[in-house]
Amino acid sequence: MEKKPTEHFVRNLKLDTRLSGALFAVASIRDGGVSKNGKRYFSIRMGDKTGYRSGTIWLHEGSAQQEAAEVSKLELIKLGDVVRVRCLYEKFNNGWFKIDFAMGHQIDIVPAGGYDPADFLAVSPYDTKTQLKLLNDAIAKMQSEPLRTLCKSFLEDGKFIEQLAKAPGAQTQHHAYQGGLLDHILEVMQLCETCCTFHKDLDRDLLITGAFLHDIGKMRVYEYKESAIVIKDVDSLIGHLTLSHTMVGEKIRVLREKGVDFQEDLEMLLAHLILSHHGEEGGSAVRPKTPEAVALHHADNFDSQVAKEIGRMPDAGQ
Ligand SMILES: [Fe+2]
Ligand SMILES: [Fe+2]
């Protein structure tokens, strides 16, 4: 089992250096087609527990047979695979990693057991049991019977909790680690709770329910493999706001079948919180139009932006 040398962690990489035998987990790889100068290339994003960076893999020119062999080799690389690369690390238009086969650069899959998963698997700094207790305590304080019943139906769903405990908050931007989604949810809940202490007209139970459930769709968007967070197609095709809304709708339907009186107006207000939580930015179906929706949007944005800055590397962004 190979351990990454400290200088090979993404956070420690120095620009304009040649990497030889560095290990990275692949978060995305796709055939880029042919560039303007006629060269076939693949785009790749790879990294480790300290961050991810994009790059380009340039194929040999001139020999169709060689190009086909290189394409076949690259097509074997799956998301989450750990690869050993020989390449340049420099800042250019399309990223940082430059793998040019004509320059003798290489990329090879490392079989499981050939690397230490701990080098790639970033985990929450908090204890999961303690975090789940905080979540349970916030829900237990709810006065609203239908909202408390809804939240508890998620908390009592063993599969949901098991997945929530492992889910990342994002692939790269913020809370990009195992347990990151739970940390983000709790932070947003605490911000909302604080907001309710001075804006007493806010519906605390509705806002806390929105904070708990606003991002649960991410559990269906991100997959945590042994060595990397990968994004499923459902992210670009449906998005986590709609998925969260669907998951909440599914639970409410089950509760109604069991005789719980979950009023349609309340469901609509909660749906609005979830579907508008990105505010004016991308992803929102509607802009926030209720005080609770405005509060949730800003709490969500506050937490994700601060976390992003704390975790940001000097020249990250692609
Ligand atoms: Fe979100
Ligand atoms: Fe969020």
Please, which pLDDT band fits residue 192 given cuts at 50, 70 and 90?
very high
d(CA 187, ligand 1 centre) in Å: 13
- State the pLDDT at residue 318: 35
d(CA 275, ligand 1 centre) in Å: 9
- For residues 111 and 138, membership in a common domain is answered with no
276 alpha carbon, closest ligand:
1
Mean pLDDT of 274-284: 86
Per the domain annotation, does 286 fall within a domain? yes
- For residues 112 and 54, membership in a common domain is answered with yes
Q: Both tokens of residue 42?
A: 């693949």
- For residues 93 and 166, membership in a common domain is answered with no
Mean pLDDT of 305-314: 74
Mean pLDDT of 244-260: 97
d(CA 215, ligand 1 centre) in Å: 5
Q: Torsions phi, psi of 183, nearest 5?
A: -60, -45
- For residues 153 and 57, membership in a common domain is answered with no
For 8-45, write each residue's pLDDT tens digit: 999 899 999 999 999 999 988 999 999 888 899 999 99
- State the pLDDT at residue 312: 57
pLDDT at 311 over 90: no
d(CA 200, ligand 1 centre) in Å: 25
Give the environment of ion ligand 2: residues with CB less than 5 A. Answer: 215, 300
- State the pLDDT at residue 242: 95
Per the domain annotation, does 84 fall within a domain? yes
β-bridge pairing 51-58 and 95-100: parallel
Per the domain annotation, does 316 fall within a domain? no
Per the domain annotation, does 86 fall within a domain? yes
- State the pLDDT at residue 317: 37
Please, which pLDDT band fits residue 72 given cuts at 50, 70 and 90?
very high
pLDDT at 160 over 80: yes
Mean pLDDT of 81-95: 91
pLDDT at 212 over 80: yes
Mean pLDDT of 221-245: 83
- For residues 247 and 190, membership in a common domain is answered with yes
- State the pLDDT at residue 214: 98
- For residues 156 and 99, membership in a common domain is answered with no
- For residues 144 and 65, membership in a common domain is answered with no
Domain, as residue range, for 22: 6-119
d(CA 274, ligand 1 centre) in Å: 8
235 alpha carbon, closest ligand:
1
- For residues 100 and 199, membership in a common domain is answered with no
More confident residue, 140 or 316: 140
Residues 95/147, Cβ–Cβ less than 8 Å: no
d(CA 171, ligand 1 centre) in Å: 13
Per the domain annotation, does 317 fall within a domain? no
pLDDT at 316 over 50: no
Mean pLDDT of 208-236: 86
Per the domain annotation, does 318 fall within a domain? no
> Of 184-193, 264-273, 284-293, which range is least confident?
284-293
The CATH number linked to 182 is 1.10.3210
- CB neighbour class for 223 (10 Å; exposed up to 12, middle 13-18, buried from 19): middle
Give the chain's mean pLDDT: 91
d(CA 317, ligand 2 centre) in Å: 19
pLDDT at 142 over 60: yes
More confident residue, 228 or 68: 68
- State the pLDDT at residue 147: 98
Domain boundary among 119, 138, 165: 119
Please, which pLDDT band fits residue 313 given cuts at 50, 70 and 90?
very low
Helix axes 145-155, 240-257, angle to 10 degrees: 110
- For residues 192 and 244, membership in a common domain is answered with yes
- For residues 107 and 201, membership in a common domain is answered with no
Q: Which amino acid is at 7?
A: E
Of 173, 150, 186, 138, nearest to 299 by C-alpha is 186
- For residues 84 and 182, membership in a common domain is answered with no
- For residues 139 and 286, membership in a common domain is answered with yes
Per the domain annotation, does 154 fall within a domain? yes
Mean pLDDT of 284-309: 93
Mean pLDDT of 164-183: 87
d(CA 192, ligand 2 centre) in Å: 12
- State the pLDDT at residue 117: 87
Domain boundary among 61, 87, 119: 119
User: How many domains, the chain?
Assistant: 2
- Spatial distance between the Cα atoms of 181 and 164, rounded to a whole number of angstroms: 7
- Spatial distance between the Cα atoms of 254 and 251, rounded to a whole number of angstroms: 5
Domain boundary among 119, 153, 176: 119
Q: Is 77 left (phi over 0), alpha (psi -120 to 50) or beta?
A: beta
The CATH number linked to 57 is 2.40.50.140
Please, which pLDDT band fits residue 288 given cuts at 50, 70 and 90?
very high
pLDDT at 281 over 80: no
